[in-house]
Structure 1
Amino acid sequence: MNPDLELSQFDYELPPELIAQSPAAHRADSRLLHLDAGGCLHDRVFTDLPQLLQPGDLLVFNDTRVIKARLNGCKESGGKVEVLIERIIAPDRALAHVKASKSPRAGSRLLLANAFAVEVAGRQGELFDLVFPERVLDLLDRHGTTPLPPYIEHAAESEDEARYQTVYAREPGAVAAPTAGLHFDERMLERLKAQGVGQAFVTLHVGAGTFQPVRVRKVADHIMHAERYAVPPDTLSKVRETMAAGGRVVAVGTTSVRALESAAAQLASRGDAAPFETLEGDTRLFITPGYQFAWVDALITNFHLPQSTLLMLVSALAGMAPIRRAYTHAVHSRYRFFSYGDAMFIESSAS
């Protein structure tokens, strides 16, 4: 990591009205800003994506499923609490962010959704260890609400339950959507498959830490949040075959990038050429300019918050100056930003 990078180098001015508060009428209706390998910008629409991909390319999707991770309730003393599940660590246990006027103590109980009580077993750093009376996922499905990002101003509605979820989501565990995948519908997936573009899946359970601001001046001093990832053998084989044949590995979303690059690092450290089991673990991989990508050649992504780790990641792939130009252009051209916003197709500056 470049020790001289400063947070101010990843800032930009964003008019608040460009933050998308609701999704497009249809998933593939969004605009698409293409940043090619030479640093040139092209204004497109998302349905143009097949024109930017070639037979033999491989799209890698994150199949995590957003859980209804937000719960409201009260302490035994009557004080209000807001609970946001961060990670399920056992069938009846989860780590969570708890907002309250006074932090609950170990051994105390929280009544949630006027329906059930959880016990506070203790803390792990900023997170509270909560014990549920039955399976966490079952209780969340019945009583929780969709955890929309903090910059979306309305409370979660029925539309959000469907649209803040990819059409291929299958592994429950995320508390934020892998938003680049929100643009894909079944028609687009079939169109790309018929074109000869491969498809593979990883799982990375996106945590609430993805929205945490970077609070240090020197980027190298930032401590990255941990997220659970898994890359199955089938995906590893497809990546290896694509690279050997000269195709491109195209990550759908920054979470797919982090899963793939974490698996590449894990594989390199083990020295295995062809593992027969899933590569998985917790990753704190922090990708900043200067990072050498092992597997990822291109990226489909949304527009990211100023001074965020995700903006640093896309700057590592395309170069800081091209990303700065792209974001300036996107603001001037009134693209829609963040989770429900428009998309980018970014080709590596090294490709």
Structure 2
Amino acid sequence: MKIPQIDLKDYEYKLGEDRIAKYPLEKRDHSKLLQYKSGEISHQHFYDLPDLLPTGSLLVYNDTKVIPARLIFQRETGAKIEIFLLKPVFPTTVIPEIMVSKLPVTFETMIGNAKKWKEEEVLRGQLVVEGKTVTLSAKIKDKARKWVQFSWSDPDMSFVDLVEASGEVPLPPYLNRKPVEEDKARYQTIYSEKEGAVAAPTAGLHFTQEVFERLEQKGIDKTQVTLHVSAGTFQPIKVDQVQDHPMHSEQIIVTKATIQALLKSLGAVVAVGTTSIRTLESLYWYGVKLLENKGEEFQIAKLFPYENRTSLPSPTESLERVLQHMDKMGADSLMGETEIFIFPGYEYQMVRALITNFHQPGSTLILLIATILGEDWKKVYQEALERDYRFLSYGDSSLLWFRT
């Protein structure tokens, strides 16, 4: 693929503050649902989704679980220090493993009010976990890299216990409000399972058990991937050349069972959210990497898909190569990282349709939507604005079919 010249101004639109959904609807599946198919737009509700998907479709959703990643400490002087967890550093970079650690852990962070936190100063806070009073401590391990070490007084407690008890829900900055009790449940999908995300895979927030039951009755299967969403998902593009925008790596996990399900359903895969689509496309490119003998590490660089190639393997060839590698390693799941950047000029390999919310103007996610809809993304977003759709994380949904 050739990297095209992209003018970010072509991917802007006017989004008023009043169009941003600050709070979720009472009923998850009562959000509006805009369907784009063969150039035509129709309007339903999310509970209509089973009627819109063909029998035999395979839904792929992201089962990551949002952790309360915003930790607030208070200095003896009274100044508050906010520590936002980004990526694990030590004793492991594997998110599921570090969350259950009972020994001190170190994270790369963002620090609010950092100038008031002296490098040698240990911050401490007391909290109650399962009826026990525990002291959680934080100290700077590497100021330049914003590495912070956390330790706690009860060796029977795991790090996730402390975070769940003390952290705040990391709501997106554009909501411009403090989290409330309701957010603990609503900024989480009903199928969230693996702790590690600092932002929700919001396309999945609309699903209910009733919707899943109707999908099953219609013969629509589902499978899961894991992508632990990073704070980079909110990072605005500030560079002249779009391809120079830094994409933060995100940890992904895919099981052998999921790959086998994908092989049976190629051509009928519906991704739930941009995180799922990035995972699926990264999986394809991992197979390409193996076929091209470019290393066995499951790590997809930002622009790897855009490298010059005379031909590409089919999705079947790529996935089968991944399975061969897993059989050789005796592995039932793959863990890796991806920085994949999907913008106009990208050619999808794995997905037929995408379920997603409405995204910020001039964002990496709008660029992803434009790869699916082409110039029609403007028509879709204008229609949503005119029809009073609610935008962004707690907003309404869309079902976008790829152009054929």
TM-score by length of 2: 0.81
Q: In the alignment, what sits opposite 2:341? A: 286
**CA distance 1:235–1:73, shift in 2 (3 Å):** same
**Which letter maps to 1:130?**
Q
For 1:97, which of 110, 118, 143 is the aligned residue? 110
State the 1:293 CA deviation: 1.1
RMSD: 1.9
Q: Compared with structure 1, are the counterparts of its residues 162 and 273 closer, same or farther at alpha carbon in structure 2 (3 Å cutoff)?
A: closer
Residue 224 of structure 1 aligns with which residue? 247
Corresponding residue number in structure 2 for 1:24: 25
Q: Which residue of 1 aligns with 2:219?
A: 196
Identity %: 38
Query: Residue 102 of structure 1: SS of its match in structure 2?
Result: helix
In terms of mean alpha carbon deviation, does 95-104 or 173-182 score higher?
Answer: 95-104
- Most deviating of 9-18 and 145-154: 145-154
Does the 8 Å CA contact 1:263/1:279 hold for their aligned counterparts? no
292, 299, 303: which one aligns with 2:354: 299
- 1:150-189 superposed Cα distances (whole Å, 9 cap, x missing partner): 1223321221111111010000001111000000001101
Q: Alignment length, in residue pairs?
A: 344
The separation in 1 between residues aligned to 2:362 and 2:20, in whole angstroms, is: 16
Matching residue's letter, 1:48 = D
Pair 209,314 (structure 1): closer, same or farther in 2 beyond 3 Å:
same
Q: In the TM superposition, what is the alpha-carbon distance from 1:279 to its structure 2 partner?
A: 2.6
1:75 CA drift (Å): 4.4
Matched, 1:324 2:325: no
- Aligned pairs (5 A) from 1:39-118: 39-75=39-75, 79-88=79-88, 89=93, 90=98, 91=101, 92-93=104-105, 94-102=107-115, 104=117, 106-112=119-125, 115-118=135-138
Matches within 5 A, 1:140-289: 140-243=163-266, 247-271=267-291, 272=321, 274=323, 275-276=326-327, 277=331, 278-289=333-344
Q: Does the 8 Å CA contact 2:60/2:270 hold for their aligned counterparts?
A: yes
Counterpart amino acid of residue 42 in structure 2: H
Q: Report how far residue 74 of structure 1 moved.
A: 3.1
8 Å contact kept, 2:79–2:116: no
**1:87·1:173 contact (CA, 8 Å) conserved in 2?**
no
User: How much does 1:77 deviate?
Assistant: 6.3
One-letter amino acid of the structure 1 residue matched with residue 11 of structure 2: F
CA gap of 1:43–1:95, structure 2 versus 1, over 3 A, is same
Counterpart CA distance in 2 for 1:12 and 1:132 is: 46
Distance in 1 of aligned mates of 2:371 and 2:147: 34
- Residue 313 of structure 2 is aligned to residue 313 of structure 1: no
Is residue 400 of structure 2 the alignment partner of residue 346 of structure 1? yes
Q: Return closer, same or farther for 1:76/1:15 CA change in 2, 3 Å cut-off.
A: same
- Tell me, in whole angstroms, the C-alpha distance in 2 between the residues paired with 1:257 and 1:132: 36
CA contact (8 A) 1:113 1:143 kept: no
- Whether the 8 Å CA contact 1:76–1:108 is kept in 2: the answer is no
Q: What is the Cα deviation at residue 280 of structure 1?
A: 2.3
Look up the SS of the partner of 2:229 in the other structure: coil
CA drift of 1:103 comes to: 6.7
On the 8 A contact 1:3/1:219 being kept in 2, the answer is no
Partner-residue secondary structure (3-state), 2:172: coil
Stretch of structure 1 that moved more, 42-51 or 198-207: 42-51
Shift of 1:211: 0.8
Matches of 1:292 and 1:4, distance apart in 2:
16
Q: Distance between the aligned counterparts of 1:234 and 1:194, measured in 2?
A: 22
| Structure 2: runs of 5+ lacking an equivalent | 128-134, 292-320
- Contact 1:110/1:120, CA 8 A, preserved across alignment: no
1:35 aligns with 2:36: yes
CA distance in 2, matches of 1:208, 1:226: 10
Deviations 1:88-137 (A, max 9, x none): 34334222211115174654422346752112111574x43333336321
Take 1:77 and 1:226, find their aligned partners in 2: how far apart are those partners? 37
2:138/2:148 contact within 8 Å kept: no
Counterpart position of 2:5:
4
